Structure 1
Amino acid sequence: MGKVGRFACILTPMLLTLASLICIVLVVIGQTPWKGNNAPSTALGRDLYFFKADTSGFNADPQNVIDHLPDSVKPDTDLVKALQGAASSKELKDFYQVGLWSYCEGDKDKDGKETITHCSSRKFSFWFDPFSVWELKDTSAQKALGDDMQKVLNAYKKAAGFMNWAFVITLILSAVEFVIGFFAIFSRWGSLVTTIVSTAQTIFALAAATTATAIYAALVGVFKSVLKPYDIDASMGTKMLTVLWLGVAFSVASGFFWLISVCCCSGKSPHKKVVVEKTPYTYERVASPAFGGQQAQHTGYAGAAGHGTSGTAYEPFRQQQHV
């Protein structure tokens, strides 16, 4: 197949590795401010989030809360008063979007257009704590939300550390896999090393994606069950999850093709150099007796001077006349 064929064989996993790397980078920069703490620098960065809490529909009227609760459940006045205070002091924004390293908050206009007004500073061990953000920490409102929400938040806090490390390791391994992949063009040993790195990258990518999906699904569930009566909604970021799981799919596919490149596409040409050897029956020119028979000793017959006969039945000889 040769080097050209080897390059074509490596091109597919290289492109898949690059696609996976780009997806992981996009996940990492989602909701990450780059210019101060105002907002993400790109529209894509603003649209990529794991979790979103929409508080724009919150109604401070207690009667609104009563209308949304079942008849057997009484509204918690402490929670309503706390949210009323946050809304009146404008501490309660219209929406909150949570990324890997930070969260962003903002307002909605009358047409529903969202504008991010502030993002928290980047933090490696980040996790979104609504009680701290809404300034409800250690208040009666926090207790009013019940144990279910607190349990989910505690689990989220513990899992966030592992999840963040998993994303960092995935990002590093993706970059290493792409760089080492160039050496796979020259040999199968390069493919083998790249396959090992790709396998590790896929494991961490799967772990990070699974953990993030499970954590934020649980967070959305508890927000909906606890805060829905107060017209506070929650949802998962479909764009972020799509990019994340696309990155995982690209990672799995690249690992598969790296493995194939170990077994196939050696890069050596199948055409071997053919050496033509002289056989014992190769014709060789012999000296003519007309020129003195200089090579008679090699041809097996006497020259013209000796008037000899052939040493074989197939060699010519000169006839002699007898007087």
Structure 2
Amino acid sequence: MAIFGRRKKEEQEDGVKDRDSSEDTLNDERAFYKKPTGLRIFIALVYLIAVIFLILVEIGNINKKAVIKNTYFLKINLANVIPESVPNAVLINTIAQSLGLHDFYQVGLWNYCAGYNGEGITYCSPPTARYWFNPVEIIMSELLFGATISLPTELTDALSLVRTASQWMFACFIVGACLSFLCIFLAPLGFSKKPRWSHKARRIFLRQLPITVLTALALLFTAVGAVVATVMFVIFKNKFSEAADFNIEATLGTQMLAFEWVAVGMTLIGFLMQLGTCCGVCCCTGKRKAERKRQSAIQEKH
């Protein structure tokens, strides 16, 4: 009878252990699905900031309203196109303006704007998809009938490259903004609180993987657009500066460059956070600890 009593007691203890184990598993699964609200809000704000700055990049220079008119990639000043060392330079510059030239031209993603130093912007071209800045065509079209001006050959030789780069830049910024907008709502879904490696974890990992790919694409398109814009307009600026026969001042739009690179930084932060979460589910989610716990439970039963 003692033997049967001992066996019954062991069976009861095993039942208690099994219930404890099942409760632990249930708690693990509940913890797995428990979302850290703080991280979800933070990554949503990160992508919201990225979208806001990308929108500022895309609406920059489309009109002469405050902030927008100061957001441009490049500004060229033709007010003193003839150097002062040339005799009667002031008179010649005045004649050049009377022929139809504006004092300055500035470039945005969709169009260009022109104006005079004393008046500000007086004209903005209609926004055009895949716009590219062609100073030769613009200046020649603004000159009065029969007037001509010889522009630097360094500039005209680079126009074919500028056209291709501008179209890529336009597409990358538009796609990057759309993907970043989607990340505001989808990226927070990829966060879990210390999940255990189990069938549930594998399923969540497969859900997180496409979100990680989405954040990677948002970063890729935004970064490529920013790199192309920065490199292209730096080259443009240098080409104008290399024109020794002309006194053309070219300046980069620091506000536009700051906006685009802030957007790149935000998408980079979002991607790294999502990548860390995805890797955490795959490699750093307590898999070894769970395996040790399972082994110890097997040894106790035997």
* Other-structure match for 2:273: 257
Q: Which consecutive unaligned segments of at least 5 residues does structure 2 have?
A: 1-30, 193-203, 283-302
Q: What TM-score comes out, normalization by structure 1 length?
A: 0.65
What is the alpha-carbon distance in structure 2 between the residues aligned to residue 189 and residue 7 of structure 1? 21
1:239-292 Cα shifts (integer Å, max 9, x gaps): 1111111111111111011122334589xxxxxxxxxxxxxxxxxxxxxxxxxx
Secondary structure of the residue that 2:106 maps to in structure 1? strand
The answer to whether the Cα contact below 8 Å between 1:16 and 1:251 also exists between their aligned partners in 2 is yes
Provide the secondary structure at the position in 1 that maps to 2:79: coil
Q: Does the C-alpha gap of structure 1 residues 177 and 260 become closer, same or farther in structure 2, counting only changes over 3 Å?
A: same
Q: Which runs of no fewer than 5 residues in structure 1 stay unpaired?
A: 34-38, 68-74, 267-323
Native 8 Å contact 1:10 1:261 kept in 2: no
For the structure 1 residues 64 and 244, does the alpha-carbon distance in structure 2 shift closer, same or farther, using more than 3 Å as the test? same
* Post-superposition offset of 1:118: 1.1
For the 8 Å contact 2:97–2:103, the answer to whether it is kept is no
1:160 Cα offset (Å) = 1.1
1:164-210 per-residue CA deviation (whole Å, 9 max, x = no partner) reads: 11111111111111122353367665543321101011111111111
Is residue 147 from structure 1 mapped to residue 153 from structure 2 by the alignment?
A: yes
Deviates more, 1:50-59 or 1:205-214: 50-59
| CA displacement 1:221-243 (0-9 Å, x = unmatched) | 111111x6433210111111111
Identity of aligned residues (%): 24
Q: Which residue of 2 aligns with 1:117?
A: 122
Aligned residue pairs total: 239
Contact 1:65 1:229 (8 Å CA) reproduced: no
Q: Any idea what SS the aligned residue of 1:200 has?
A: helix
Check if 1:87 corresponds to 2:97. Answer: yes
Contact 2:41 2:188 in 1 (8 A): no
CA contact (8 A) 1:30 1:49 kept: yes
Alignment of 1:41-52 (within 5 A): 41=65, 43-52=66-75
The one-character-per-residue Cα deviations of 1:2-31 (angstroms, maximum 9, x if unpaired) are 777522232332221111111111100100
Please show how residues 191-210 of structure 1 align to structure 2 within 5 Å.
191-210=208-227
Partner in structure 2 of residue 108 of structure 1: 117
Which position in structure 2 is the counterpart of 1:166? 172
In structure 2, distance between residues paired with 1:96 and 1:53: 5
* Aligned-partner SS, 2:256: helix
Matched, 1:15 2:35: no
Distance 1:85 1:130 in 2: 19
Equivalent-residue separation in structure 2 for 1:229 and 1:46 (angstroms): 30
Sort the Cα spacing of 1:256 and 1:53 in 2 relative to 1 into closer, same or farther, 3 A.
same
For 1:224, the equivalent position in structure 2 comes to 241
Give the conservation status (yes or no) of the 8 Å contact 1:153–1:219.
Answer: no
SS in structure 2 opposite 1:93?
coil
State how far apart, in whole Å, the 2-side matches of 1:55 and 1:29 are: 25
Give 1:241's match in structure 2, choosing from 240, 243, 257.
Answer: 257
Alignment of structure 1 residues 118-133 onto 2, 5 Å: 118-133=123-138
The structure with the greater share of residues assigned to helix is 2
- Normalized against structure 2, the TM-score is what? 0.69
Structure 1 counterpart of 2:294: none
1:175-214 matches, within 5 Å, as: 175-184=181-190, 190-214=207-231
Rg larger for: 1
| Residue type of the alignment partner of 1:28 | E
